[in-house]
């Protein structure tokens, strides 16, 4: 993509001068490429584009994560549950109740988890990384680790096959927004485990599990250095980039990105105050990205959000907040000066397949 912004834009019929503002009864609906960064059309409609029904695979899948019975919730020996997948990434949930009884190495991909519930420590070759609610936990592909549980876990995460998740370049924001790198928490290397013995590591390779048995403990590390390491980061430490006068899209809030996938957070912030500015997320079709979101908690415009709800919107499907919410928020203009949502979102370039394990899971109908 060019480093220069195109200002080429054409218009027909009734449109506001500034997008997402002064709609004057029009229903705004965005069709966009490359997330929200590429060529875009804003349609100004008469009717609500989110009133539809689907037939076939092209549909939203929405469910409460609390109803999932994962194998790692049933047994300490179990593993996380895959929810969605494509060639670049799988999206998982872990409901581990007890600590891993074995050491584990994932050589299929990097892992980035969001801690919806629970707390504990990721013990690894790098040391001990403590985590709790609201943390992201990143673990590099190939690192040997063990999840130690204090409070039972409800994790939502990605396993990337396309490359290592990295931080995007927050162009023009300086070094310390939307977060200061000092706020990343690193593992603390403790005492090396030096007792000789037989140490078994469960390895996931090409989706299958094998064992490697070492004669020295993988955590016999006396020191390490490098630019590849696990870390944790809490969403409370994120400084939300926002605008008073125009609603900014989710692409402003990306935390990690790998080829074909991004992980981002929509977090509490002040609402747009400019008269006429739309404050609820507009109707849209993201033509190049599937989207999976987890509601971590909070509320939006007086509506409490159901914690633990997971939703998949395939690319090209209409979504956003229902028109009734747009109308209510516009009417109650000054009633909501903040948005208190906590939503974790994953966007994928290639279409996602819904894992067959979700076939029997009860679906609900909620649109965002
Ligand atoms: Fe979206």
pLDDT at 40: 95
Question: Hey, how many other C-beta atoms are within 10 angstroms of the C-beta on 182?
Answer: 8
139 within 8 A of 124, measured Cβ to Cβ: yes
Q: How far is CA 29 from the centre of its chain?
A: 23
Find out if CATH 2.10.70.10 is the number for domain 27-61+240-358: no
Q: How many CB atoms lie within 10 A of CB 263?
A: 26
Q: What is the pLDDT of residues 215-236, one digit of tens each?
A: 999 999 999 999 999 999 999 9
Q: Determine the 3-state secondary structure of 218 from DSSP.
A: coil
The predicted pLDDT at position 31 comes to: 97
Going from the Cα of 29 to the center of ligand 1, the distance in angstroms, rounded, reads: 12
Give every residue of the chain whose pLDDT is below 70, as ranges: 1-2, 367-368
Burial class (CB in 10 A: 0-12, 13-18, 19+), 341: buried
Give CA–CA dist 95/69, Å, rounded. 8
End-to-end CA distance of the chain: 30
> Residue ranges per domain, the chain?
27-61+240-358, 69-235
Q: How many Å lie between the centroid of ligand 1 and the Cα of residue 293?
A: 9
Separation of 291 CA from ligand 1 center, angstroms?
6
Asked if residues 52 and 303 have their Cβ atoms less than 8 Å apart, the reply is no
Long-range contacts of 171-179 (CB under 8 A, 24+ apart): 173/241, 177/239, 177/241, 178/238, 178/239, 178/240, 178/241, 178/253, 179/233, 179/237, 179/238, 179/239
Residue 262 CA to ligand 1 center (angstroms) comes to: 12
Q: 230 and 129 in contact (C-beta within 8 Å)?
A: yes
Partners of residue 154 on adjacent β-strands: 117
Distance from C-alpha of 167 to C-alpha of 164, rounded to nearest angstrom: 10
Question: Which of 85, 75, 223, 59 has the alpha carbon at shortest distance from 159?
Answer: 85
Question: What pLDDT sits at residue 2?
Answer: 62
73 Cα: distance to centroid of ligand 1 (angstroms): 30
| Helix, coil or strand: residue 66 | helix
C-alpha of residue 286 to centroid of ligand 1, in Å: 6
> What's the pTM?
0.96
Dist CA 248 CA 267 (whole Å): 13
What is the Å distance from ligand 1's center to 62 Cα? 14
State residue 367's pLDDT score: 59
Residue 132 is encoded by which pair of tokens? 């709790």
Spacing, Cα 242 to ligand 1 middle (Å):
17
Distance 158 CA to ligand 1 centre (A): 18
Alpha helices in the chain (DSSP H): 71-74, 323-331
β 338-339/290-297 pair status: unpaired
Distance 216 CA to ligand 1 centre (A): 48
- Compute CA 158 distance to the chain's CA centroid, rounded to the nearest angstrom: 8
Token digits of residue 40:
């875009």
pLDDT at position 327 is 87
In sequence order, which residues have a C-beta less than 8 Å from that of residue 362 and are 6 or more positions away?
A: 63, 64, 67
| Alpha-carbon separation of residue 333 from 56, 270, 299 (angstroms) | 39, 13, 17
CATH class of 69-235: mainly beta
CA of 210 to the centre of ligand 1 (A): 39
Angle at 58 between CA 53 and CA 59, to 5 degrees: 50
- pLDDT (0 to 100) of residue 326: 87
Distance CA 101, CA 81 (A): 18
C-beta separation of 252 from 235 below 8 A: no
Please give the structure tokens belonging to residue 322: 């229902």
């Amino acid at each position: 993509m060019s480093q220069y912004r195109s200002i080429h834009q054409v218009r027909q019929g009734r449109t506001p001068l500034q997008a997402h503002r002064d709609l004057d009864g029009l229903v705004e609906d965005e069709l966009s490429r490359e997330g929200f960064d590429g060529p875009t059309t804003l349609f100004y409609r008469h009717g609500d584009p989110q009133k539809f029904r689907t037939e076939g695979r092209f549909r939203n899948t929405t469910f409460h994560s609390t109803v999932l019975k994962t194998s790692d919730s049933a047994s300490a020996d179990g593993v996380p549950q895959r929810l969605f997948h494509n060639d670049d990434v799988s999206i998982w949930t872990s409901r581990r109740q007890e600590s891993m009884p074995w050491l584990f190495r994932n050589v299929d991909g990097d892992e980035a988890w969001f801690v919806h519930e629970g707390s504990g420590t990721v013990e690894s070759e790098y040391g001990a990384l403590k985590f709790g609610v609201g943390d992201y936990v990143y673990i590099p592909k190939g690192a040997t680790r063990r999840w130690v549980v204090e409070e039972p876990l409800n994790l939502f995460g990605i396993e990337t096959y396309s490359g290592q998740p990295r931080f995007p370049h927050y162009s023009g924001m300086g070094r310390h927004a939307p977060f200061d790198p000092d706020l990343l928490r690193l593992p603390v290397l403790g005492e090396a485990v030096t007792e000789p013995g037989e140490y078994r590591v469960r390895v996931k390779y090409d989706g299958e599990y094998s064992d490697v048995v070492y004669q020295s403990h993988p955590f016999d590390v006396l020191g390490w250095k490098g630019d590849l390491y696990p870390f944790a980061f809490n969403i409370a430490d994120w400084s939300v980039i926002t605008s008073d006068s125009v609603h900014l899209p989710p692409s402003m809030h990306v935390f990690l990105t790998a080829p074909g996938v991004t992980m981002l957070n929509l977090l509490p912030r002040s609402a747009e105050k400019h008269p006429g500015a739309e404050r609820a997320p507009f109707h849209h079709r993201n033509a190049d990205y599937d989207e999976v979101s987890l509601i971590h908690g909070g509320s939006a415009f007086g509506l409490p959000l159901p914690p633990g709800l997971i939703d998949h919107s395939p690319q090209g499907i209409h979504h956003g907040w229902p028109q009734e919410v747009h109308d209510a928020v516009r009417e109650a203009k000054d009633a909501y000066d903040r948005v208190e949502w906590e939503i974790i979102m994953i966007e994928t370039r290639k279409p996602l397949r819904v894992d067959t394990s979700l076939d029997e899971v009860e679906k609900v109908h909620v649109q965002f």
